[in-house]
Structure 1
Amino acid sequence: MKKSTLLHAELSYLVATLGHTDEVTICDAGLPVPEPVQRIDLALTHGVPGFIETVRTFLSESQIEGVVMAEEFRQVSPALHQAMIETLHEEQMRSGREITVSYLSHEAFKARTHQSRAVIRTGECTPYANVIFQAGVVF
């Protein structure tokens, strides 16, 4: 049995096969997933699993260099957005590497998900709880 934090086979494979600048989206239960993009659906019920716990688990085994979020996330759901910013700060401290944060309109964000290697759907029901991670390198 795998010993590290991330036990989900599809997620583990995805992380192991990411290359520099590849993008992965983690989203709430309502974000549309583009047809050609791999969907990893974790949603069990409203709120399970949550957005932040999914982000933290993904980050436990992924090196990232940037994130993209919708402007509406920080405006409409400021508490969860702040938790996301704090999680990114913790990751920067842990890794010793800067993580660039950028924002797009929600419509532009949805269009950007078409570039993702995969979209990971959570059970989160907080509006605009979505993030695109850009893979970094460990060296």
Structure 2
Amino acid sequence: MLKTIPPLITSELLTVLAEMGHGDDLVIVDRNFPAAAVAGCTTSGVLIQLAGCDTTEASRAILSLLPLDSFVDKPVSRMAVVDDFDAVLDVHQEVQQVVNEAEGREIPIVPLERFAFYEAAKRCYAVVRTTDARPYANFVFKKGVVFD
């Protein structure tokens, strides 16, 4: 165990977060997402399993370490609800709050159509799968830069 690193962050996840560079994307998904298939297409080919936590908890832990990209207007995206593109579910609102708190400012989260989200996820650095049972609990975070 290390100080100030959330216990939810596994050594494998910590390694992936450290390996990622500016502009790399990390996808965080629910238990229904085809995570293993998508992970095989990612830059690292890595699927990280975070058992016993939901997407909100995972996002909070990850964003306590991962800076979001401040050089792009929309560093976060989410899977849109099929047949209701503009719907904002509870999980979307929760992660929105986590994102805003982590960055100390309002960060827009862009909805992506389901299949567009799958394609975006394949271009990510790695996949983190939670055990979240809620549908559409799927997000992409673009890594930023830490300025000293």
TM-score (norm 2): 0.80
- Give % identity: 31
Instruction: Point out where structure 1 has 5 or more consecutive residues left out of the alignment.
Output: none
Tell me what 2:72 maps to.
none
Task: Please say if residues 64 and 99 of structure 1, whose CA atoms lie closer than 8 Å, have aligned partners that are also in contact.
Answer: no
Check whether the contact 2:49–2:128 (CA below 8 A) recurs between aligned residues: yes
Instruction: Say if 2:69 is the partner of 1:58.
Output: no
Larger mean CA deviation between 63-72 and 125-134 belongs to 63-72
Counterpart CA distance in 2 for 1:113 and 1:69 is: 10
1:1-139 pair list within 5 angstroms:
1-6=1-6, 7-33=9-35, 34=38, 35-36=40-41, 37-43=45-51, 48-65=52-69, 66-72=75-81, 75=87, 78-93=89-104, 99-139=107-147
Amino acid at match of 2:76: V
Check the 8 A contact 2:67/2:103 in 1, yes or no.
Answer: no
Structure having the larger proportion of residues in strand: 1
Q: Which runs of 4+ in 1 moved over 3 A?
A: none
Counterpart amino acid of 1:57?
Answer: A
Distance in 1 between the 2:80 and 2:22 partners? 25
- Provide Cα deviations, 1:26-74, integer angstroms capped at 9, x if missing partner: 100011121233101123xxxx211101110001111112111122186
TM-score normalized by the length of structure 1: 0.85
Aligned length, in residue pairs: 131
> Which structure carries more helix by proportion?
1
The gaps in structure 2 that reach 5 residues or longer are: 70-74
